[in-house]
A and B are shown apart, each in its own frame.
Chain A
Amino acid sequence: MGRRDEWLDLPGDPTVDGVDRRDFVKVCMMAAAALGLPAATGVKWAEAAEAGLKPSVIWLHFQECTGCTESLLRTSHPGLDKLILDMVSLDYHETLFAAAGHQIEAALHDAVAKGGYVCVVEGAIPTKEDGIYCQIAGRTAIDILQEVGGNAAAVIAIGSCASWGGIPSADPNPTGAVGAQEILKDKTVINLPGCPSNPYNFLGVVLQFATMGTLPALDDEGRPLFAYGRTIHEHCPRRAHFDAGRFVRQFGDDGHNLGYCLFAMGCKGPETYANCSTLHFNEVPDAWPIGIGAPCFGCTTKGVGFTKPLFQEAALPPNYVPPIHPSDQRGPITPGWAGVVGLATGAAVGGALMASKKLGEGETEGS
């Protein structure tokens, strides 16, 4: 661990060293940089967190695998988990809480009553049979979300399940699983799809809300544009291979070993909107599907991940393709030049006729 941290030039092991202010600010700045914000924003976040302006966070788990939480915890970044806990006041989280039972339900109740919190939803919400397929403390997921989410200052749906149903909603969708937005129809839900969602995107949204009280600009599916504005394909490190027509044809073939494009293996990069290709997971270079030679399966995009067959080629985004009948290679006839030539031809013909007249007359007279 220590060696890898040195290699990555990251701050020391927090479990040994604790987190000093310098490291903390640095982490905030990196988070800001990941979101394309100026370094000063990171400093601002750090200051806000230090000043104790920690937003309250309520983290709800529904139909999910806890993968999003796990990936958040497994960031190799020193103590990112701890930082989140330090930077936000995590008032309710079923995985991380030491408490259980009535104790934790009371905590939830208190936090909701206080208001002004951020509600993070992880997991899809089953709606069939009145939502009986997921119940906590005797209440259905629908009930819980409607209460907690409805009262929240902001709702963040983390992971594909919470964003649009994810795996639980895959065909035939036995539990009628839907995303958080479907339940909270009147509220703006920030969707952070992904399986798992990239922790940095989550961090950026939470910190922006914590420090500036604003939420990022969203696309029409409620995804922050800073992270989901472009396709994987647009910034894929293997894009050059795509453009040159060098494709992996079979896992383990020469092209695969050489890191060729995985499009022909069913990579959904061209239709998947996410920033995985520029922001790899857990600060480990190439820690993302395409980086390790696996095709992107489109987890962040509804209708692609868990829906399209794994090895079916993706639809390409509109691209420039020349039209079937190319325009004139040398430009159309310029009217001026055509006129000049026309006049010249006309003059020549006219001149010839005149000359013929003259010649004819002359000859008639002469003969």
Chain B
Amino acid sequence: MSMDRRTLLKGLAVAGAGAVAPVEASEKYAEAPEDAVGMLYDATRCIGCQACVTACKTANNLPGNRYNPPEDLSGETKNIIRLYQDGDESSYVKSQCMHCVDPGCANACMIGAFKKREYGIVTWDPDRCIGCRYCQVACPYNIPKFQWNTGVPLIVKCELCNHIIHDPDTGTLREGALPGCCQACPKEAVIFGRYTDLIEDAKQRIAERPERYWGPDGEPKIFGLTDGGGTQVLYLADLSFEKLGLPTLGDHGTAKQAREIQHGIYRGFIAPVALYGVLGLVMWRNNRAAKKEEG
């Protein structure tokens, strides 16, 4: 259904410009990079100790601690454990950047402050950010946070502890280095690893104890395998992910659709240039006609 509309719109845009250039889908971020790393969070293992929250603050040098616990992700909290509770049902859930395969924030960012970098890690560069906060609008998980109460604000968001795990000199991963939260977790409820290994791990866990995990129609589901085009942080849980505050997304990120429409309209800059030419010509003719009348 949505395909129809998209095609129709593209047709309209292209036809309107008088150009018939075919519009091909942008496949820029169809899959995670080969060497992608990520995290696997298993809500059934999480015990809500919140050690990862403090560890994250330590690893990223953020203010606040366990004794003044944060309520939500914020300008000083990149990672949080929250509790879903409804009667007997309850589950902890961790929130941090999902490191989308096709990140909305990176798609939104004007001069590339948000970038999907080596190993597929989505990072933020203060030197390029102008604080427009479009990333906050574009993120389906509401992850990037803004520092509201300072004249020199930053965007704060989990970067998979890129500064710890990634050696910028050699461009490789540091041996044994882990993101703060994975380092801290006493239950290995959140683990760090190669994206492909994590998927294998998650599948194995499901195979071993399928009754432990939730999925639509009883089929255990790994959140992030395809959701929103895929995320490099994967989730397993024994409750529906919607209850845990994760959005219901299609198999393609909104980024893909927005990009297709945007590029559809501006493909090769044909439409704008053509439109400009047409406008100019019409006006030039009108002008000449008007002058003739006057003359």
A and B interact physically: yes
Q: A313-B187, A324-B245 are in contact. Are A245 and B52 (CB under 8 A)?
A: yes
Interface footprint category on B: 35 or more
Q: Is the CB of A244 within 8 A of B48?
A: no
The minimal Cβ–Cβ distance linking B55 to chain A, given in whole angstroms, is 4
Asked whether B67 is an interface residue with its Cβ less than 8 Å from the other chain, the reply is: yes
The minimal Cβ–Cβ distance linking B117 to chain A, given in whole angstroms, is 26
Q: A316-B48, A321-B82 are in contact. Are A244 and B58 (CB under 8 A)?
A: yes
A244 to B64, alpha carbons, bound, how many Å? 11
Nearest A residue to B91, CB-CB: A324
A261 to B54, alpha carbons, bound, how many Å? 14
Q: Is the CB of A316 within 8 A of B47?
A: yes
A349 to B71, alpha carbons, bound, how many Å? 40
The minimal Cβ–Cβ distance linking B237 to chain A, given in whole angstroms, is 12
Q: Is the CB of B81 within 8 A of A321?
A: yes
Which of B178-186, B225-233, B257-265 is found at the contact surface with chain A?
Answer: B178-186
Asked whether B244 is an interface residue with its Cβ less than 8 Å from the other chain, the reply is: yes
The minimal Cβ–Cβ distance linking B58 to chain A, given in whole angstroms, is 7
Most buried by B among A315, A323, A325: A323
Q: Is the CB of B66 within 8 A of A313?
A: no
Nearest B residue to A321, CB-CB: B83
Binary per-residue interface labels of chain A (241-270) against chain B in the complex, 1 for a CB within 8 Å, 0 otherwise: 011111100000000000001011000000
The minimal Cβ–Cβ distance linking B96 to chain A, given in whole angstroms, is 14
A329 to B69, alpha carbons, bound, how many Å? 15
Q: Is the CB of A243 within 8 A of B67?
A: yes
Nearest B residue to A261, CB-CB: B186
A202 to B54, alpha carbons, bound, how many Å? 39
Nearest A residue to B187, CB-CB: A313
Asked whether A138 is an interface residue with its Cβ less than 8 Å from the other chain, the reply is: no
Q: Is the CB of A313 within 8 A of B186?
A: yes
Q: Is the CB of B72 within 8 A of A243?
A: no
Q: Is the CB of B84 within 8 A of A247?
A: no
A320 to B68, alpha carbons, bound, how many Å? 11
A246 to B92, alpha carbons, bound, how many Å? 20
Q: Is the CB of B55 within 8 A of A324?
A: no
Q: Which residues of B contact A264 (CB under 8 A)?
A: 186-187
Q: Is the CB of B186 within 8 A of A263?
A: yes
Q: Is the CB of A245 within 8 A of B245?
A: no
Q: Is the CB of B71 within 8 A of A245?
A: no
Question: Which of these, B47, B80, B84, contacts A315 with CB under 8 Å?
Answer: B47
